[in-house]
């Protein structure tokens, strides 16, 4: 049976009063996630933190959560490291590659700092060159691939690229970029901040080496939890930059001579104590999304995003950035209105979207819980704005 959208929306208090159209920054929290976090916090306070086992022991929840993230990413649980956010995952991947001086990292002009800054910092420390593929709003997949073909070569050690552009919403042909870099013997790390929980993912099909996602955006989880996929074939290639107790095969897998044995899976990239209420909340949230059905969520996101694009395209003076395929983001401009101004004025009318810079655009996120009334509020708000310009 299909989930009832009204009931789904009732689970999210934050979507009741406003048209909540900025999941790309933060998804709303559900009542169940918030209740789990509160209960976990209360138990930390009243029972102490020494025998803390809401929903099972901490390690057991972490194991369930890895398996849950693995189902979202379409991979094995042993290929998941729990992280704090996308940026954490991109750092682990970028810093862990075995570089030789003079190697190159290929990235694009539209990366988010969460993926880009680790590239810059690693390049500085390891004396690497960074090649930036210039993206343009006119690129179709073939134009884009030609640009990557020109940039990737024998010296390319890593390609660092977002699956879904946080600026335009374009879905990059990651599988084909991965094939290209693999032909040259390099690796690919994908920033999945705008894809994880928004579109179906299958790590086998995408052929990526590393893929980082957050919990707090399209999975509507708490802040402070994310996941990094590390292809099991690449565990040997990706060095552990940070290590700690959770990185070990077991608690005794180190000795005084400097030897330590890593966990056999991607958990080797996990480091120290994590905020347990967030882990518990994320697990509750993932369970609920799976009960609703991930396929239903992805279908619904596509339907409402298509609707958003159609509605926006029909407003005079609105130009929607056309992308060959879509996830949940839609970017656009309003003639004569600065994006930052539009965000502020729409927020006053209860419509929450955001703007991005360079290219200067407005960005709407449409996710499974959004409905036609949200999009109608957006449309009416934009029409009102446009009238003040004319
Ligand atoms: C493409 C992209 N990458 C990375 C990030 C940073 O995400 P996080 O806070 O999960 O590190 C964002 C956040 O907006 C993003 O859009």
- Segment 298-325 shows an average pLDDT of 96
* 162-214 residue pLDDT tens: 999 999 999 999 999 999 999 999 999 999 999 999 999 999 999 999 999 99
Q: What is the pLDDT of residue 48?
A: 86
**Residue to mutate (ligand 1; options 84, 170, 191; most atoms within 8 A of CB):** 191
**Residue range 293-389, CATH number:** 3.90.1150.10
Q: What is the residue with the minimal CA distance to atom 4 of ligand 1?
A: 114
Q: CATH says 37-290 is which class?
A: alpha beta
249: which DSSP letter? S
- The confidence score (pLDDT) of residue 52 equals 56
CB 139 within 8 A of CB 131: no
Mean per-residue pLDDT over the chain, rounded:
95
**Residue 108 vs residues 130, 132, 185, 213: alpha-carbon distances, Å:** 10, 5, 19, 18
- Asked whether the beta carbons of 366 and 308 are under 8 A apart, the reply is yes
Query: Does the pLDDT value for residue 372 go beyond 90?
Result: yes
Cα 88 to ligand 1 centroid, rounded to whole Å: 10
Tell me the average pLDDT across 330-336: 97
| Ligand 1 centroid to residue 86 C-alpha, Å | 6
Query: Worst-scoring range by mean pLDDT, 45-59, 122-136, 181-195?
Result: 45-59
Indicate if ligand 1 lies below 6 Å from the C-beta of 263.
no
Query: What pLDDT sits at residue 51?
Result: 65
Q: How far apart are CA 116 and CA 110, in angstroms?
A: 9
- Specify the residue for token string 């004569």: 336
Of ligand 1's listed atoms, the one at least distance from the Cα of 162 is 1
Is 76 a residue whose pLDDT tops 70?
A: yes
Q: Which of 69, 86, 91, 111 to mutate to test the pocket of ligand 1 (most atoms within 8 A of CB)?
A: 86
Q: Which of 116, 194, 365 to mutate to test the pocket of ligand 1 (most atoms within 8 A of CB)?
A: 194
Extents of the domains making up the chain = 37-290, 293-389
Share of the chain above pLDDT 90, in %: 91
DSSP lists the bridge partners of residue 227 as: 82, 213
Instruction: Provide the pLDDT for residue 60.
Output: 85
**Residue 54 pLDDT > 60, yes or no?**
no
317 exposure class (CB count in 10 Å sphere: 0-12, 13-18, 19+): middle
pLDDT, one tens digit per residue, over 208-252 is: 999 999 999 999 999 999 999 999 999 999 999 999 999 999 989
151: which 2 tokens?
């940039």
Tokens, residue 149: 């073909």
Q: Output phi, psi for 194, to 5 deg.
A: -105, 10
Q: What is the pLDDT of residue 59?
A: 83
Res 56: pLDDT:
60
298 pLDDT tier (thresholds 50, 70, 90) = very high
- Residue 124, pLDDT above cutoff 90: yes
Ligand 1 within 6 A of CB of 166: yes
Position 333 scores a pLDDT of: 97
User: Which residues, in sequence order, are CB contacts of 232 under 8 Å at separation 6+?
Assistant: 76, 78, 79, 265, 266
The span from the CA of 267 to the CA of 269, in Å, is 5
What is the helix (H) or strand (E) element at residue 211, kind and residue range?
strand 210-214
What percent of the chain clears pLDDT 70, i.e. is strictly above it?
98
Asked whether residue 16 carries a pLDDT value surpassing 90, the answer given is yes
């Amino acid at each position: 049976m299909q989930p009832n959208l009204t009931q789904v929306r009732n689970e999210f208090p934050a979507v009741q009063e406003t048209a909540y159209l900025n999941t790309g920054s933060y998804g709303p929290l559900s009542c169940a996630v918030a209740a789990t976090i509160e209960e976990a916090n209360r138990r930390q306070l009243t029972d102490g933190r020494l025998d803390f086992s809401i929903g099972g022991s901490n390690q057991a929840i972490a194991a369930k959560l890895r398996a849950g993230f693995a189902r979202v990413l379409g991979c094995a649980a042993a290929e998941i490291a729990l992280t704090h956010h996308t940026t954490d995952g991109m750092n682990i991947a970028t810093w862990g590659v075995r570089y030789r001086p003079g190697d190159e990292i290929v990235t694009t002009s539209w990366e988010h700092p969460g993926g880009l800054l680790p590239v810059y910092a690693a390049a500085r420390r390891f004396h690497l060159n960074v090649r930036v593929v210039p993206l343009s709003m006119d690129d179709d997949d073939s134009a884009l691939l030609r640009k990557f073909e020109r940039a990737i070569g024998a010296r390319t050690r890593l390609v660092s690229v977002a699956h879904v552009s946080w600026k335009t919403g374009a879905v990059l042909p990651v599988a084909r970029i991965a094939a290209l870099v693999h032909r040259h013997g390099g690796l690919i790390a994908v920033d999945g901040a705008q894809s994880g929980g928004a579109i179906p993912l299958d790590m086998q099909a995408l052929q990526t080496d590393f893929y980082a996602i957050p919990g707090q955006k399209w999975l509507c989880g708490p802040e402070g939890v994310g996941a990094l996929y590390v292809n099991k074939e690449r565990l040997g290639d990706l060095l552990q930059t940070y290590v700690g107790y959770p990185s070990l095969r077991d608690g005794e897998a180190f000795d005084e001579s400097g030897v330590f044995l890593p966990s056999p899976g991607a958990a080797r990239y996990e480091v120290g104590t994590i905020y347990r209420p967030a882990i518990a909340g994320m697990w509750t949230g993932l369970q609920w999304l799976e009960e609703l059905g991930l396929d239903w969520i992805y279908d619904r996101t596509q339907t409402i995003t298509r609707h958003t694009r159609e509605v926006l395209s029909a407003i005079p003076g609105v130009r929607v950035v056309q992308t060959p395929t879509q996830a949940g983001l839609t970017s656009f401009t309003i003639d004569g209105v600065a994006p930052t101004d539009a965000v502020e004025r729409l927020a006053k009318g209860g419509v929450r979207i955001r703007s991005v810079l360079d290219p200067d655009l407005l960005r709407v996120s449409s996710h499974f819980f959004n409905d036609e009334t949200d999009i109608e509020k957006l449309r009416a708000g934009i029409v009102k704005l446009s009238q003040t310009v004319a």
